[in-house]
């Protein structure tokens, strides 16, 4: 196990697989890691629980808790997804967090209790405790509502993104950014996972004011639609537009390629490797690190019954390599 740096207070902004990857790597190096989590998810198991029980979305929070857990068996339990019966499609961890919220009347308390059960290193903080819906400007200029629906529709180029009702930031999230040594925006769905955190007004203010070193770990591939043809600098520009300020100090991006077979598989679905122009990167206000952050092994699916298995990314970041790059930036 890598030695951690006891003084590094690192906040990771995002949700889903991107945050999971960064947290998995960073926990080996920084002893104080806080996951600041998107709270607009409304698809799959999470969406069903929100609709039927009126709870806040547990899915991205569950993934972050699992990433920071020191209890392998409990971690596996939280990730277990039922493949039959009335619970089909639900992850146990989602049900557990939902039950805790209903029992305590507080999602924040539910997360705190689950953190104890999972024996996590660090802290998981919902970006907001408001019950919000993600909204985006469609290709025709009309609003589209709901994260899942947005992911299925054509958006305007560099769309307007907002939350309804306007979210109040979780005070713990604002404090985490204020006291951090490093804030990392994780790779992930730009408008579905990252924007719901970045557009919250108090979080925008905290990012603009923080003395922390702020880093964006860029996505590996583009997505059909709004990010078609996006370069590294395009992604970084959108992150800052959504956040309302030029808060980034560094951008980390991949400079290697997967196998031609994998690239062809992704290209068939309209997903291409994110390109970079070194002349363009030199003109930016932030510094950058080009590194071989692409994982070399192929993800093979932890549970065959997981309905998300077929959509999980084979092209993904190497948690340890990314964490090492971030620690080099921390010490720079």
Under the banding of pLDDT at 50, 70 and 90, the label for residue 7 is confident
Rounded to two decimals, the pTM is: 0.94
pLDDT given at position 331:
94
Treating both helix axes as pointing N-terminal to C-terminal, what angle do 92-104 and 72-79 enclose, rounded to 10 degrees?
Answer: 90
* pLDDT value for 307: 38
**250-262 residue pLDDT tens:** 999 999 999 999 9
Q: What's the mean pLDDT in 158-167?
A: 97
| Distance separating alpha carbons of residues 122 and 328, to the nearest angstrom | 20
Weakest-pLDDT range from 85-89, 172-176, 278-282, 296-300 = 296-300
> What is the arithmetic mean of pLDDT over 189-216?
97
Q: What is the pLDDT of residue 6?
A: 54
- CB half-sphere exposure, 5, CA atoms < 13 A: 16
- CB contact set of 254 (below 8 Å; sequence gap of 6+): 218, 220, 273, 274, 290, 291, 292, 293, 294, 317
* Segment (H or E) for 8: strand 5-14
Quick check: 14 pLDDT over 80?
Answer: yes
The tokens 């009309």 sit on which residue?
A: 142
What's 5-331's CATH class? Answer: alpha beta
Q: Which secondary structure element, helix H or strand E, spans residue 253, and what is its range?
A: strand 250-254
Q: Is the backbone peptide bond immediately before 165 cis, with ω within 30 degrees of 0?
A: yes
Domain boundaries, the chain: 5-331
Mean pLDDT of 66-88: 95
| Distance separating alpha carbons of residues 156 and 225, to the nearest angstrom | 9
Q: Within 10 Å of residue 72's Cβ, how many Cβ atoms?
A: 8
Token representation of residue 84:
């039959």
Q: Inform me whether the pLDDT recorded for 12 exceeds 70.
A: yes
Given a cut of 90, is residue 177 above it in pLDDT? Answer: yes
Closest CA relative to residue 233, chosen from 295, 191, 293, 286: 286
Summarised one tens digit per residue, pLDDT across range 298-328 is 554 444 434 344 444 588 999 999 999 999 9
């Amino acid at each position: 196990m890598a030695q951690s740096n006891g003084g590094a207070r690192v906040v990771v902004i995002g949700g889903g697989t991107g945050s999971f990857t960064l947290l998995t790597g960073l926990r080996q190096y920084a002893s104080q890691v806080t996951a600041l989590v998107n709270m607009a998810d409304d698809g799959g198991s999470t969406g069903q629980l929100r609709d039927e029980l009126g709870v806040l979305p547990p899915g991205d929070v569950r993934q972050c808790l699992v990433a920071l857990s020191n209890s392998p068996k409990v971690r596996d339990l939280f990730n277990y997804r039922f493949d039959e019966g009335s619970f089909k499609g639900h992850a146990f961890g989602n049900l557990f967090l939902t039950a805790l919220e209903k029992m305590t009347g507080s999602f924040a308390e539910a997360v705190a209790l689950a953190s104890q059960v999972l024996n996590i290193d660090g802290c998981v903080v919902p970006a907001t405790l408001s019950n919000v819906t993600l909204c985006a400007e469609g290709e025709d200029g009309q609003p589209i509502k709901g994260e899942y629906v947005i992911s299925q529709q054509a958006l305007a180029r560099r769309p307007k993104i907002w939350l309804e009702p306007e979210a109040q930031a979780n005070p713990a999230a604002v404090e985490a950014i204020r006291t951090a040594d490093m804030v990392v925006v994780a790779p992930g769905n730009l408008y579905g996972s990252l924007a719901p955190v970045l557009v919250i007004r108090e979080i925008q203010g905290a990012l603009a004011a923080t003395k922390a070193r702020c880093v964006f770990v860029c996505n590996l591939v583009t997505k059909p639609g709004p990010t078609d043809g996006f370069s590294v600098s395009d992604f970084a520009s959108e992150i800052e537009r959504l956040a309302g300020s030029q808060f980034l100090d560094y951008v980390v991006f991949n400079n290697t390629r997967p196998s031609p077979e994998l690239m062809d598989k992704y290209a068939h679905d309209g997903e291409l490797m994110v390109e970079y122009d070194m002349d363009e990167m030199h003109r930016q206000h932030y510094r950058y690190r080009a590194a071989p952050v692409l994982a070399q092994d192929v993800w093979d699916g932890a549970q065959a019954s997981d309905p998300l298995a077929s959509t999980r990314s084979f092209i993904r970041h190497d948690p340890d390599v990314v964490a090492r790059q971030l620690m080099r930036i921390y010490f720079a």
